[in-house]
Amino acid sequence: MKIEINTKNKDFLVTLFKEYYFKNIGLLSPPIQMHNREFGFMTFDGRVIRHLTFSKIGSLKAYIIQNVPSDIFCSNAYYQFPTFPINEKRWRGADMIFDIDLNDLTLPCANEHTFYICSNCGVVSRDLINLCHECHSTKILKNTIPCFRCINSLKKETKNLIEFLKKDFGIQEQNLEISFSGNTGFHVVVFQNNYLLLDSKSRSDIVGYLMGKNLSPESLGVRNDKRGYRIKIPLSGYSYGWRKRIVQKMKIPEVSNDQLNKFIKKMGGYQSFKNEIDKIAYELGLKIDPQVTTDIHRIFRMVGSLNGKSGLSKIVCNDLDKFDPMNDSCFFEDDRNVDISMNIPLKFSIKGKKYTLDKSISTVPISVAVFLISKRLANIVNSSS
Amino acid sequence: MSIILGKDDLAKYPFLEEAGTYIRESHFDLDDFNRSEFLHIIERATKRIEFALIQGKVFIDLEKYDIELFTFLVSLIMMKYIGEDSAIKKFSLLEAIRVERFLISDLLQEKDLRKKNLIISKIFRELFQLDVELDAKNKNLFKMNISDYLQRATPFNEVEWKLINRAVDNGYVYLDGDETVRLIRYEIYTLMYNRIKNMNITKIPEQIKLHATLVKNKLTPSIKYARRISDLPPCIKKALELLNKSENLPHSARFMLATYMLSIGKSVDEVVLLFQNAPDFNEKITRYQVEHLAGKKGSHTKYTVPSCCKLVNENLCYATIDCKGITNPIQFGRKK
Ligand code: SF4
Ligand SMILES: [Zn+2]
Ligand SMILES: [Zn+2]
């Protein structure tokens, strides 16, 4: 959801976004088969413009510098006619995309740094509200500033995903791209040929696999039976995929009829065994956004572009462990200061510097101002210094 | 030395390229079918079609390859002549199941690995562009690309076909012989169907026409479901309509349809065949379930057709003015 932004803030961001693209246009790397992609933009007024095409990176860059959108997207799909309406585009495949976002991780620290902002009057609350207590508007925007624990959890989840993709799906390193979304998540894109033509239903099956959904005891050779259960060791054994994960987690070393039987007996039968499988599958399953992966017509944030919700860049992470979003994806130069007024007192750090800002007017470097204004936590007071 | 498919294999898989070559090289002319030496072939083909269309059973008899090849050819020509789409579909499906049975036993029982690989390459690779490989360790285990698997398995709704319930490793799905073959049923079916549909024969031999006409005459009343489709209650009509569009019916609708058909005197075989268009059709399972409903299995209780009231609750009722005054679909059309 995009909310309206006051003119002063908007003018400030437009000027700086424009400057960013002017100086860092090289970060914007063209997607493979650029001429078969659909491009889309979000304007600072919250309008979405879709179904555009650019056959050369040069013309895309020119468009961006001229129009300064708040967000830039490019389809994961390849189309014969990218500018036609959805049903006439002639779909020719789509990269497989994954979104790992704080929203899906539900971490305990979330409420320490989540804000609810009235999109009408800009009042910020740390408590969940459905109605603004100042102006009674119901347009409430949720916003979060990930802490280091959040970032670590996101990285861990991303690594788990990469492991699944490599081990189970045979996806090669060079066909994978991991990037920071610019706000509260990581994106993984797979461009391996044999997966590009999969339809939405197949992708949904893959999502189910990754999330650990619908794993049945039958697939481990345990069948429900009138007298309890029956065991038939599957021909394909236990050394692959989920079966391997489950027997490892249950600590069944050599899986044989006897071993399994003993184990299930000890647990208390078929139903308890099934419950245990469900539990493990949930634990080991990934927390990803299923809608993103099953959408084969999505327009997805472009690498190198600014995320309008944070003013940070979506950027490829070559070394996930070392990657520090608040540093490595902030490209605004702090060559001057501006005055901002905070909507809420806030402690945070960016570009290696800690800030403690109270509700009065503060003079801060450009990077801080862009970040906080994009997050709707501050307003520009004066940008002419 | 490269090995080639033996004649016994062609007998089982008469749709392969090599079978066509054999027929062409035998300098055979379609008119020869009017000669008395070929009558037994035409009769055998007739039997094969009647098996499929009337009894709803797979013809499992396997003869010497020359007999098989010609029987297959004649069956297709007869089906072309019969021409009714629902009949061609039914025949194609039962032929596909026949092929499936041979394939499964070949994949499981063939000891000669080169031979096994050859069958895989001829049928899976050449005919359907599906790369299936033997597992390096276990020669009764097969593997295919995850995406090839997904394309074929996602129409099945049972949870066992979900990727998560499969042995998945390094981009491959591991399957046993039955499962591998089950995945291409639809492709074999389509192959048969298209063979018949696309056949272009200017002059069908009289003998074949004659036999085909006889089959067709026997066929008409029983292949059409009820007395007349317009006599069926709207709920049943709707369910049949969905089935024919290969849509997935909820369990409650299948139950209604099966009990209704049994109650108006359809045989178990006929009811099983009704479900052949279901995307997850499994003959064995469906047969078991229908026999159960008919009271032939398990508790020996015969299940009755659910009441209109129940069907309304299950959103299966599509009542029209003709439903006035009835409380169970079986009363439809009886009271007037
Ligand atoms: S009223 Fe009864 S017979 Fe008529 S459609 Fe509804 S359920 Fe079927
Ligand atoms: Zn408000
Ligand atoms: Zn946190």
pLDDT-flagged residues of chain A (< 70): 1-5, 382-385
- Residue A70 one-letter amino acid: S
**Tokens matching residue A374:** 């994009």
**Tokens matching residue B308:** 């209109």
Q: Which residues on chain A are in Cβ contact (under 8 Å) with B171?
A: 169-171, 194
Q: How many Cβ pairs within 8 Å bridge chains A and B?
A: 92
DSSP-based three-state secondary structure for A100: strand
Tell me if B119 is assigned to some domain: no
Catalytic-labelled residue, pool A11, A168, A278, A289: A289
Mean per-residue pLDDT, B171-192: 92
- Give the single-character DSSP code of B54: I
Determine whether the interchain pair B160/A219 forms a contact, defined as Cβ–Cβ distance below 8 Å.
yes
If asked whether residues B196 and B318 sit together in one domain, one would say: no
> How many Å apart are CA B318 and CA B336, to the nearest integer?
19
Q: What pLDDT, on a 0 to 100 scale, did the predictor assign at position B228?
A: 57
DSSP-based three-state secondary structure for B332: coil
Q: Which atom of ligand 1 is nearest to the CA of B329?
A: 3
If asked whether residues B206 and B318 sit together in one domain, one would say: no
Could you tell me the distance, in angstroms and rounded to a whole number, from the CA of residue B290 to the centre of ligand 1?
A: 22
Q: What pLDDT, on a 0 to 100 scale, did the predictor assign at position B230?
A: 64
The reported pTM is 0.81
Q: What pLDDT, on a 0 to 100 scale, did the predictor assign at position B226?
A: 42
> How many Å apart are CA B287 and CA A45, to the nearest integer?
62
Going from N- to C-terminal start, the domains of chain A cover 7-104+146-207+289-384, 217-284
CA distances from residue B105 to B9, B17, B100, B185, B244 in whole angstroms, order as listed: 12, 21, 9, 15, 31
Q: What is the ipTM of this complex?
A: 0.91
CATH T-level fold of A7-104+146-207+289-384: DNA primase, PRIM domain (3.90.920)
> How many Å apart are CA B16 and CA A382, to the nearest integer?
80
**Tokens matching residue B304:** 């009755």
Could you tell me the distance, in angstroms and rounded to a whole number, from the CA of residue A106 to the centre of ligand 3?
A: 10
Tell me if B151 is assigned to some domain: no
Mean per-residue pLDDT, B209-217: 90
> How many Å apart are CA B305 and CA B235, to the nearest integer?
12
**B217/chain A closest Cα distance in angstroms:** 43
Q: For residue B231, which phi and psi values (nearest 5 degrees)? A: -85, -5
If asked whether residues B314 and B211 sit together in one domain, one would say: no
pLDDT above 90 as % of chain B: 37
> B52 is in which domain, residue-wise?
1-108+190-220
- Residue B197 one-letter amino acid: K
Mean per-residue pLDDT, B193-207: 91
The answer to whether residue A104 is catalytic is no
Per-residue pLDDT tens for B94-142?
A: 899 899 999 999 988 888 888 888 989 989 998 999 999 999 888 889 9
> How many Å apart are CA A292 and CA A186, to the nearest integer?
12
> How many Å apart are CA B185 and CA B297, to the nearest integer?
28
Q: Which residues on chain B are in Cβ contact (under 8 Å) with A218?
A: 159-160, 165
The answer to whether residue A99 is catalytic is yes
DSSP-based three-state secondary structure for B176: strand
Mean per-residue pLDDT, B228-243: 82
* Total number of domains constituting chain B: 2
What is the CB < 6 Å shell around ligand 1? Answer: B 233-235, 308, 311, 317-319, 323, 326, 329, 332
Per-residue pLDDT tens for A250-268?
A: 888 777 888 888 889 888 8
Task: Among B170, B204, B220, identify where a domain stops.
Answer: B220
B1, pLDDT greater than 50: no
> How many Å apart are CA B191 and CA A106, to the nearest integer?
50
If asked whether residues B260 and B197 sit together in one domain, one would say: no
Determine whether the interchain pair B146/A216 forms a contact, defined as Cβ–Cβ distance below 8 Å.
no
Q: What pLDDT, on a 0 to 100 scale, did the predictor assign at position A382?
A: 66
Tell me if B315 is assigned to some domain: yes
Per-residue pLDDT tens for B46-101?
A: 999 998 888 878 888 888 888 999 999 999 999 999 988 888 988 998 899 899 99
If asked whether residues B321 and B202 sit together in one domain, one would say: no
Mean per-residue pLDDT, B160-188: 93
Tell me if B122 is assigned to some domain: no
Ligand 1 atom 1: residue of nearest CA: B319
Q: Which atom of ligand 1 is nearest to the CA of B234?
A: 5
Paired with A349 in beta bridges are A354
